[in-house]
Structure 1
Amino acid sequence: MASLTSRHPFNLYYNAGEYVKICGTQDGYFPDFGHHMANEMGGVWLHPIKLLDGFWLKVTDLDSDIAVWARADGYTSESWGGSRFDYDHGLSHIPVSIERSQFAPDDEKGMVAEYEISAYGKGTTRLKLELLSRTDLRPVWYSDEIGIIAGTGETAEEISSRKVIVKDNAHDWYVMIGSDLTGTDIRVGPEIYGPELTAGKGTGVSFVTECSLQEKEVFRFRLFVAGSESSRETCEQTYAVIERDYISMKEQKQQFYHKLDERAVLTIEGEDELNEQFAWVKRNTQWLVQQVDGIGRGLTAGGPTYPWWFGCDSTYALQGVLATGDHQLVKDTLNLLLEKSREANGNGRFVHEVTTMGAVSNPGNTQETAHYIAFVWEMFLWTGDETLLREHYDYCVQGIKWLLEEMDQDGDLFPSGYGIIEIAGLNMELIDSAVYTAKALQALEQMSLYLGETERHETYQQLAEQAVRAVNAVYWSEQNSLYTDAVAPVSDILPKVDYMVSLAEKQGITGYREYVDGLLADAGESQQDRGWLLNKNWVIVTPMEAGIADQEKAERALETMRSRDFIGDYGTYLAAIYQQGTMTISTGAHAVAEAAYGHPDHALDLLRRMGKSFSRVLPGSFSEMSPDYGCVVQAWTIYTLAVPVVRYFFGIQPEAQHRRVTLAPDMPQAWKHKSCSLEHVAVGDAQFDIYFETRESKRYVSISNTSGWTVVLDWKGKRRESSEIRIEWQLEQ
């Protein structure tokens, strides 16, 4: 498995097991940063608590009296989930090189950092080494709102000369730090710092030793960290297991990632960069999986800024997770969010944001409930898990009732409230909420039919047809050949004008007031609901992304959105009015929309634009904001890559409940004569390998169908089907 290296020392990295997350800079340091928790988002976290502000190594050459806090000049993201730091040029004439590798076991509450010091000087090099950690036991963001506040200090206890356990004074939160470094010199105390004066309230733990190395001799030692959010006994037990079994834990992690790499393997001839990006985004997704005892396991939104669970992010990201085969992660995440939605709301509303302490900081934006309902049906199509469908169905029924009654006071099938774009004041009948409500009704139409609820099926069918017609009629702007951001009467827009103008001016946008005045003039005296293109936010692509746009309108809107007004060097702008921000989700939804309406070349162009931001900050990852800011790893990026490729380019349409898969491939022109394969695609309990190749100027598709499911090929209006173990069809030109 390939690894990726960079030399950008001040960029962040994110190193993860399913329990512990480690975040610092690629020089091996741990500077304070973060806005949810000011200066506290980095370090070592065992959610829902923080364990360490960081750890550092000081190297002193005893003969030259040169002392250096080691700072790495090379960083590597290991494909198996670890990190490596190389210290070659930052040791100020001390004749040694250092390699530090670290990882967090997936199933244990701790981490290991391994150091190798290699001497290259002639004769003997005498060194003094100081391995220092700073503890910082505190709870995750938003915990104070539910009455959980860290103690005013911490108590440290030396277990031995190489083991220290530290406890928060007010809670049973523990961290144990130790090393197999030789020697007995130890210092412990809140006044002990390394090269960075971190903001945390904890204590310093310093292990010191001396060693002599001959030329080419290597000295190895390790730092072990374990934590517990519940008891000292658990912390000590975890430490003992990690100290004893860290080698086998590393091997297990490598084997796990090897199996992950074998799921949904994409190989497109001549597309080495895209193939690599597709492989890494599956690994990135695993970095964001978070387990918390007593709450559950699920995919978090992004590291390090959003290391907890979100409704909106999940219903996008999990579409990509379904397509790449980790169906258990999909079930775990959605079940966690369902449980929290029931606890916090109980009325069908789907939560927006859940911290790892279990606190719901936002009970849910309007769009999220609709998107959740739509996603439940897609989850069922991929998994065929009827028990899971039934677990979610009742809440989906409640959810559509909440949307169409409490949130849709005027009964036009356009629920009000905040959508994906969380801009204060824009809590109107927004396009994304309306689109996903129509999609949710279509999903409930299918769910109720499958579950034999005839009366509900008829109701949802009628409402779905009405909602789709309404979106296409009311949100469409004939003048602009676009769907609009929102629907509202003039009286709802007027009070928001000054605020919207102030937002635009803060972004350096001139002429926005004149633009809005023009919209108001076009509206005239009418107080009827009408569509408003207030910002041309990226969500105006959702009618096409969700597949509910009329064909003619979709073609016009997509053509309009292919301009430089909407698309920049790295993908689709968050808002065409501003042209100042690009996210993987805005680009992804746009790419899905192009692919859904038969434009794979334009979809691929968007993926290539986004691909230019790959590894810009963190090797092997896409940042939340393209090309290089926001979270260094973001969950919904897997939606952006996997959904266009798997669902549309390869055309996989699963029906796991019927043991059937339809292929309706629509490849980009650049791929039509190349070998293209997608291997080990999971649908239900079956796996499929799909190959496209050209032989003697003829195009063929071959499918490995070892489970004997029904495979249907939908190609240029003709359908063929087979349940043979090995299928090959010629694709007529």
Structure 2
Amino acid sequence: MVHSARQQQLFAGVTIQRWPWSIEHDHDLENPYVTAGNRVYSVATQHGEFSAIGWRQPHEMSGVWDHPIKLLDGFWFGISYGPNTLIGPASKIHWLTNASRWRMTPGEVEMTYQLPGLNVVRQEYGVDDHEGILVRLRLVNRGSSALDLQLHFLAHTDLRVAWLGENRLTWRDGQDEAVYLDEQACIAAYNTVNPAYVLFGAGKRPAAVTIGTDLSVTKQTPGEGASGHLRYTLHLPVTGSEEMHYIIAGSTQSSSDASTTFMQLKDSFEELAQQQRQRYQHIIERSSLHGDDKLLETAFGWAKVNLQMLERVIPSIGQGISAGLPDFPWWFGKDTTFTALALVASGQFELALSSLRNLMHHSQIVNNNGSVVHEILTLGHIHDSGHLVEVPLFVRACYHVFLWTGDQQFLHDIYDFCVRGLMQYVLASTGSDDELIATGKGMIESRELQSGKGFKTLDIAAYTYQALLCLAELASAIGDDSRVPALRDKARRIRELVNTDWWLSDENLFGDIYASAQELAASHEALRAEGPLWPGDLKELEHTDAMLARFTERHGHDEATLRQARPWLLKHMIAAMPMETGLASPEHAAQAFARLESDEFTGPWGLYLNPEREPATMTLPNGVMAAAEAQYQRMDQALAYSHHIARTLAQRMPGAFSEVSPDGGSFIQGWSSYGIIWPVVHAFFGFQPNVAQHRVRFIPHFPASWHTAQLHSVRVGTTGMDLEVAKSPQDARIVLETQDLSYEVTLGYTWLGTTMPGRVTLNGEEVSFHTEVFHHGGEDDETAQRCTLQIPATRGLQRYELHLVW
């Protein structure tokens, strides 16, 4: 498909272009960015400075990282005017730490600097599958006379281990030593205690080299690092230009490995830079969204890019998508299970598969009970062996990854693990209907809900319900048919139980937890005895204590009443999860949405984590709300929550979505993509493949503001499909094109209201159809009535065009 360049200003002061894709701005350049490779990445400010950021390793999460080690605290480029001075200091150095513009294209970051008579453009590339990064400087003489210049490349090493390395391993931060390697024309540094190595230099030989421990640009950096300063001479005639190539390479194994990588990057600089751009261009072109909604179209493209930027590959340790930067550059159970859905829906199958396999691999090593680990460090150590909710989330993710890929080996690899985790770990102690919901740790990572064994929480109930249905489908796919009825029956019983016992009719919401007043009080006593309690912990306990006091005032101190388990409303964001999973009845969903969409729960940037205890907004709750609204065919409301995420695109690192909206926490967070990609593909386009059975369903339901939209090159198993929808008050046209004629295609369309079309055709021929009316707000709510039309499944065609005329 041929694309024309389209430039728009969706955000004040930010220029966005699509085809080719780029995003740029010239303000707030003190914010961070990442030059991303799956082995080595660099975090700096958009000026090109390396500030002290991060809390996991305080002030150490910027710089250049080659996990499980850090390579550099930073690297800097400078320009001085005049002939080369080999003896003594150079003339005044203009360090490139005050950019006039920052720009990102998929696979490349660019900064522009304006110096007297000189324009400098700095381009950086991560290099996937190589332990290094590349930097290109392009210098253009804008003056009226020739320029003799010195180019300065200064780097400060910090060959330290990643978070908890000093606690978990016999790794201490030894002194770094540096030497100049004449053959490679670069500086090599190594740690005197540990196997950590870094080389840095350029594509040409330096005119002068200085090595020390106190060389600096704007400030001294703490630690045991060494500094290296390389000077290069350059002559620029009037209007002349020249490029310099710089290379940073590392190794966690040996100096020879680092040296080999350095020479590979040096010799293949242009080829590797082009490969990185092409890799990201392929991601942009696959499952590409085009339509009326330019905000979401832009966010959709960058959401796909964000996912690849967070891939982390560490040989012999793990491979998969990390959570976010700067503080979460390793692997998490919850994060992976949400991002896996965005990965498969955007065609990034390999990363989805490797991420889930990585979780399972480490879980099997550490846990012998079927649980899924929560946090895997890049050293290979497990910081947290798991939260119970991660098991059903893992099952759900595996189900959707299998649907999209049809990967039979993956199914056989994960099936027994999924069965063991859900049936023998999550549901092992459940029996009667009263005990169908397991007790454990859920999505809310507060001291109140994570202490001890945890509670029966609403998110565990909702995801267990959904996981049972997913596991039933996986069982059927693998031939374990005898297990299917019991799985579906358990799901049915959980749905009935939660809708009956957990619903608070006076609140129009489900309770966050199901426990007795005695259990809550005892948990608080134990938590206070543990200490110390932080301000956030105390705030939570005070809120719940006040709730318990109100309960006692109302019901007295009757022992039986205090022992009776009941739902409690804590107002956490998990209130949306019964709708996200389809557990809530239509009537309960409609009432819950009315409250969650109100100003009480939803603010300027979306759903609050908790309107009373933590009135902040994160991208994941917005994604959950978008998926929840779409589950009940509330597409306009779903779009609104996706827009909440999309509007953060230019807030901190343009082209990335921060963890906390609009600009807090990690400046790039993987699970943000869930609330952009999943609702668009799965709900708005209504595209649901089953590759193993060679079937696809394409039954779109667009928000009211969408009139035309296309998804091009949607990856389905080993083939690709193009999807297009165009609607007007008079008609709707749904088109699917594929080169694989073996797929059985089911087409349909969903619209608001119950007026039936007068004519329905497939490729111009009238076709039979059936319709179904849904009452997602209850049968008395006419505004919530939606109609879905579906025609008989067909196969053997290259182009399917369904046309409805009213």
Q: 1:518 matched to which residue of 2?
A: 550
Q: 1:460 matched to which residue of 2?
A: 487
Letter in structure 2 aligned against 1:726 = R
Which of 46, 51, 56 matches 2:71? 51
How many angstroms does 1:122 deviate by? 3.2
Which of 385, 388, 400 matches 1:363? 385
CA distance 1:469–1:503, shift in 2 (3 Å) = farther
* 1:546 and 2:581 aligned: yes
CA distance 1:192–1:488, shift in 2 (3 Å) = same
Q: Verify the 8 A CA contact 2:363 2:370 in the aligned structure 1.
A: yes
Q: Verify the 8 A CA contact 1:350 1:368 in the aligned structure 2.
A: yes
Output one character per residue of 1:62-93: Cα deviation in whole Å (capped at 9) or x when no partner: 499543322232443432221111112xx5xx
Which of 437, 440, 451 matches 1:417? 440
Provide the C-alpha distance between the structure 2 equivalents of 1:556 and 1:108, rounded to a whole number of angstroms. 53
Which of 191, 208, 213 matches 1:190? 213
How many angstroms does 1:471 deviate by? 2.0
Provide the C-alpha distance between the structure 2 equivalents of 1:528 and 1:229, rounded to a whole number of angstroms. 57
CA distance 1:315–1:134, shift in 2 (3 Å) = same
Q: Verify the 8 A CA contact 1:139 1:148 in the aligned structure 2.
A: no
* Aligned-partner SS, 2:93: strand
Provide the C-alpha distance between the structure 2 equivalents of 1:731 and 1:410, rounded to a whole number of angstroms. 46
Q: 1:87 matched to which residue of 2?
A: 113
Provide the C-alpha distance between the structure 2 equivalents of 1:521 and 1:378, rounded to a whole number of angstroms. 48
Q: 2:463 matched to which residue of 1?
A: 436
Q: 1:712 matched to which residue of 2?
A: 746
* 1:683 and 2:743 aligned: no
Which of 698, 721, 728 matches 2:801? 728
How many angstroms does 1:681 deviate by? 1.4
Q: 1:490 matched to which residue of 2?
A: 517
How many angstroms does 1:206 deviate by? 0.4
Which of 546, 568, 573 matches 2:608? 573
Letter in structure 2 aligned against 1:52 = L
Which of 27, 30, 37 matches 1:10? 30
Provide the C-alpha distance between the structure 1 equivalents of 2:434 and 2:338, rounded to a whole number of angstroms. 27
Letter in structure 1 aligned against 2:464 = T
Alignment root-mean-square deviation, CA? 2.4
Q: 2:180 matched to which residue of 1?
A: 158
How many angstroms does 1:504 deviate by? 5.9
Q: 2:271 matched to which residue of 1?
A: 248
1:322-337 map, 5 Å: 322-337=344-359
Provide the C-alpha distance between the structure 2 equivalents of 1:456 and 1:512, rounded to a whole number of angstroms. 41
Count of residue pairs the alignment pairs up: 725
Provide the C-alpha distance between the structure 1 equivalents of 2:247 and 2:378, rounded to a whole number of angstroms. 24
Provide the C-alpha distance between the structure 1 equivalents of 2:387 and 2:647, rounded to a whole number of angstroms. 32
How many angstroms does 1:413 deviate by? 1.9
Q: Verify the 8 A CA contact 1:26 1:74 in the aligned structure 2.
A: no
Provide the C-alpha distance between the structure 1 equivalents of 2:585 and 2:130, rounded to a whole number of angstroms. 51
Q: 2:569 matched to which residue of 1?
A: 533
Structure 2 gap ranges (5+):
1-19, 84-89, 750-770, 773-788
How many angstroms does 1:143 deviate by? 2.0
How many angstroms does 1:233 deviate by? 1.6
Q: Verify the 8 A CA contact 2:456 2:515 in the aligned structure 1.
A: yes
How many angstroms does 1:502 deviate by? 7.5
Range moving further from structure 2, 356-365 or 176-185: 176-185
Range moving further from structure 2, 238-247 or 564-573: 564-573
Q: Verify the 8 A CA contact 1:21 1:44 in the aligned structure 2.
A: yes
Which of 361, 381, 390 matches 2:412? 390
Provide the C-alpha distance between the structure 2 equivalents of 1:14 and 1:26, rounded to a whole number of angstroms. 9
Output one character per residue of 1:254-286: Cα deviation in whole Å (capped at 9) or x when no partner: 2212211111111112x2221111111101111
Output one character per residue of 1:641-672: Cα deviation in whole Å (capped at 9) or x when no partner: 1111111111112221211111222111111x
Output one character per residue of 1:219-254: Cα deviation in whole Å (capped at 9) or x when no partner: 432221111111122111111110000101111112
How many angstroms does 1:444 deviate by? 2.1
* 1:693 and 2:726 aligned: yes
Q: Verify the 8 A CA contact 1:689 1:704 in the aligned structure 2.
A: yes
Range moving further from structure 2, 468-477 or 486-495: 468-477
Letter in structure 1 aligned against 2:592 = A
Q: Verify the 8 A CA contact 1:393 1:447 in the aligned structure 2.
A: yes
Provide the C-alpha distance between the structure 2 equivalents of 1:555 and 1:694, rounded to a whole number of angstroms. 27
CA distance 1:659–1:440, shift in 2 (3 Å) = same
Q: TM-score, normalized by length of structure 1?
A: 0.94
Q: Verify the 8 A CA contact 1:185 1:209 in the aligned structure 2.
A: yes
Q: Verify the 8 A CA contact 2:29 2:102 in the aligned structure 1.
A: no
Q: 1:286 matched to which residue of 2?
A: 308
* Aligned-partner SS, 1:636: helix
Q: Verify the 8 A CA contact 2:517 2:548 in the aligned structure 1.
A: no
Q: 2:705 matched to which residue of 1?
A: 670
Letter in structure 2 aligned against 1:428 = F
Q: Verify the 8 A CA contact 1:72 1:85 in the aligned structure 2.
A: no
Output one character per residue of 1:417-473: Cα deviation in whole Å (capped at 9) or x when no partner: 221110013121111112111222222222223333344333323322222222222
Which of 234, 258, 266 matches 2:281? 258
Letter in structure 2 aligned against 1:12 = P
CA distance 1:521–1:684, shift in 2 (3 Å) = farther
Range moving further from structure 2, 141-150 or 279-288: 141-150
Provide the C-alpha distance between the structure 2 equivalents of 1:508 and 1:424, rounded to a whole number of angstroms. 9
* Aligned-partner SS, 2:448: coil
Q: Verify the 8 A CA contact 1:182 1:209 in the aligned structure 2.
A: yes
Q: Verify the 8 A CA contact 1:679 1:689 in the aligned structure 2.
A: yes
How many angstroms does 1:519 deviate by? 4.4
How many angstroms does 1:624 deviate by? 0.9
Q: 2:736 matched to which residue of 1?
A: 703
Range moving further from structure 2, 285-294 or 686-695: 686-695
1:550-561 map, 5 Å: 550-561=585-596
How many angstroms does 1:523 deviate by? 5.8
1:200-239 map, 5 Å: 200-239=223-262
Provide the C-alpha distance between the structure 1 equivalents of 2:95 and 2:63, rounded to a whole number of angstroms. 17
Q: Verify the 8 A CA contact 1:3 1:76 in the aligned structure 2.
A: no
How many angstroms does 1:406 deviate by? 5.8
Range moving further from structure 2, 631-640 or 139-148: 139-148
CA distance 1:387–1:360, shift in 2 (3 Å) = same
Which of 468, 480, 489 matches 2:507? 480
Q: Verify the 8 A CA contact 2:446 2:537 in the aligned structure 1.
A: no
How many angstroms does 1:732 deviate by? 4.8
Which of 65, 90, 94 matches 1:68? 94
Range moving further from structure 2, 237-246 or 202-211: 202-211
* 1:114 and 2:98 aligned: no
Letter in structure 1 aligned against 2:790 = R
How many angstroms does 1:510 deviate by? 9.6
The share of aligned pairs that are identical, in percent, is 28
* Aligned-partner SS, 1:13: strand
CA distance 1:3–1:522, shift in 2 (3 Å) = farther
How many angstroms does 1:61 deviate by? 3.4
Range moving further from structure 2, 287-296 or 523-532: 523-532
Output one character per residue of 1:133-173: Cα deviation in whole Å (capped at 9) or x when no partner: 01111121122333141442122222128312111112222
Provide the C-alpha distance between the structure 2 equivalents of 1:136 and 1:406, rounded to a whole number of angstroms. 49
Q: Which has the higher contact order (CA 8 A, sep 6+)?
A: 1
Letter in structure 2 aligned against 1:27 = H
Structure 1 gap ranges (5+):
none
How many angstroms does 1:410 deviate by? 10
Letter in structure 2 aligned against 1:2 = W
* Aligned-partner SS, 1:235: helix
Q: TM-score, normalized by length of structure 2?
A: 0.86
Letter in structure 2 aligned against 1:83 = V
Q: 1:354 matched to which residue of 2?
A: 376
Provide the C-alpha distance between the structure 2 equivalents of 1:295 and 1:562, rounded to a whole number of angstroms. 43
Q: Verify the 8 A CA contact 1:127 1:210 in the aligned structure 2.
A: yes
